[in-house]
Amino acid sequence: MIDASALRTITGATFRANPDYEIVLLDRLPEGYRKAFAAEAEKDPELHGILWPTSNKGLTPKTLCHQTALMLYALRQPGGLPAFVSNRLGPDCNRIVAELVLDGILEVAAVADAPFVSGAAAQPLLYQDEALELGRGRIADLSREALRYGQLLRADGSGELSSRLYAYNTIPITAAWRERLATPATIETFLGMQAGSPLARRLASNWARLGERDGSEGWIMWRLRDSQPVGAMAAAVRQYKLYVSPRPEALPQAWPDIVDVFAQCRVPAFKIGRDVAGLLRPDKIVAYLDSYEALAVVAARLQPRLTDCPAQGTPFTAGIGEAGLLSWGMDPPAKDRIPGWTLAESWRLWVTNRLAVALRIATASAVDIEPWQFALRRLGIEGVDVGTWAPVQQVWSDRRSA
């Protein structure tokens, strides 16, 4: 595991704003970009402008607040960290400044007259000498495979790279699968929940099925009949997600057992892919729980029921056991979203967005470190145990309450 304690203390070093970025006020952006950020500007009065890359070094545009802009204006000339930055950030100052250096926003010099560095080149200055601990099990292996695959891609921007990472381990849609899962009716028959079936009655007796207008586009989704209104399913209180990832050919046998356990445990809400693409993705079944303890109970009851079920495995989630069938995540708070991304960030999207940015930064740097290793180290100081892919719950809870 890598966390903020693995960082050296750098707050007394010499910094400068990265000269390969320029600050552009929102009203000075080209019209297309101005429209793209208009909604975000309305929601966030602290939004100052866009940090825009002026060279092709793997840097990506970023939104920035008034305080960050003030710091960058102050550090156009190299110098120590301004006092207002340390005072405002408090105990988190070292971690946040390290993140700014790793993301290429700030540059740091080791000693006087030393060259300024950022991104992957700054890693030796920022981290203690600590080996990168790699996890075990199918999901940990899949996640590392996905990162190695990602560093070889020539994706058009971080958004595309994040999407490719997110979709890793999806089973291709073949003609046979497309024919077998051609319509909503054939899909419901495949899952054994066609109208009048015992499974359909079991579902209807426990949960209300949501429509696409309720935010379930791409999914068949249910919530307990006596639970909170539909919109509450995505609220922070229901923040834990249990991923169940059988191979699609095993779904007809596994799905009734999964529903039975969900009913026994009164799972508040869950969903399954609505179409052929949804059933071939790795995260095809997701249950929403109110606490980690509730999630652990559901997982413990599922494991003996699904002993012989072949697993597909959902990358960038925390594995439960080594087979890859069950895993979990914890959705980030909305305020922790990368500014400028149009999609709300689930756990996996939160992870892949940050990994994509780190991979692009490292790939553009001529340094002796594999980009996927740099990406893991970068993610590790944001509250993710990169050995297990689990959110460090205390760090995550602190972020939610901040």
Q: Is 149 left (phi over 0), alpha (psi -120 to 50) or beta?
A: alpha
* Residue 179 shares a structural domain with residue 305: yes
- Domain end (from 253, 285, 312): 312
- 25 and 82 in a common domain: yes
Q: Which of 139-153, 162-176, 192-206, 336-350 has the lowest mean pLDDT?
A: 336-350
114 & 198 share domain: no
Q: Check residue 127 and report its DSSP letter.
A: B
Q: Does 306 share its domain with 181?
A: yes
- The pLDDT tens digits for 261-275 are 999 999 999 999 999
- 144 in a structural domain: no
Q: pLDDT by residue (tens digit) across 212-227? A: 666 567 899 999 987 6
pLDDT level of residue 146 (50, 70, 90 thresholds): very high
286-320: per-residue pLDDT in tens?
999 999 999 999 999 999 999 999 999 999 999 99
Same domain? 200 vs 270:
yes
Among 130-139, 259-268, 349-358, 376-385, whose mean pLDDT is lowest? 130-139
Mean pLDDT of 230-246: 68
Task: Give the DSSP letter of residue 79.
Answer: B
- Rounded CA gap, 108 and 2, in Å? 21
How many structural domains is the chain composed of?
Answer: 2
Q: What is the dihedral of CA 362, 363, 368, 370, to 10 degrees?
A: 80
The bridge status of strand 106-109 relative to strand 116-117 is antiparallel
Mean pLDDT for 310-337 is 86
Of 257, 288, 312, the position where a domain reaches its end is: 312
What is the per-residue pLDDT for 255? 98
The burial class, CB within 10 Å (0-12 / 13-18 / 19+), for 172 is: exposed
| Domain identity same for 203 and 85 | no
Specify if 284 maps to a domain: yes
pLDDT in tens, 56-82: 777 888 888 888 999 999 999 999 999
Q: Can you tell me the mean pLDDT for 132-139?
A: 81
Domain boundary among 272, 292, 312: 312
For 140, the enclosing helix (H) or strand (E) is: helix 138-152
143-to-135, 168, 275 alpha-carbon distances in Å: 10, 9, 25
Q: Is residue 240 one of the residues assigned to a domain?
A: yes
Domain boundaries, position 29: 1-130
320 is a domain residue: no
Domain match, 21 and 97 both? yes
> Of 371, 332, 333, which is closest to residue 351 (Cα–Cα)?
332
Global pTM? 0.84
138 falls within a domain: no
Assess if residue 277 is contained within a domain: yes
* Whether residue 126 is found in the same domain as residue 228: no
* pLDDT value at residue 158: 86
CA distance 362 to 375: 8
Q: Are residues 179 and 304 in the same domain?
A: yes
In a domain, 157, yes or no: no
Task: Say if residue 228 is in the same domain as residue 303.
Answer: yes
Residues 239 and 295 in one domain: yes
Q: Is 395 within a domain? A: no
Integer Cα distance of 232 and 340 in angstroms: 25
How high is the pLDDT of residue 142? 95
Specify whether 303 is located in the same domain as 204: yes
Tally: H helices and E strands in the chain: 16, 15
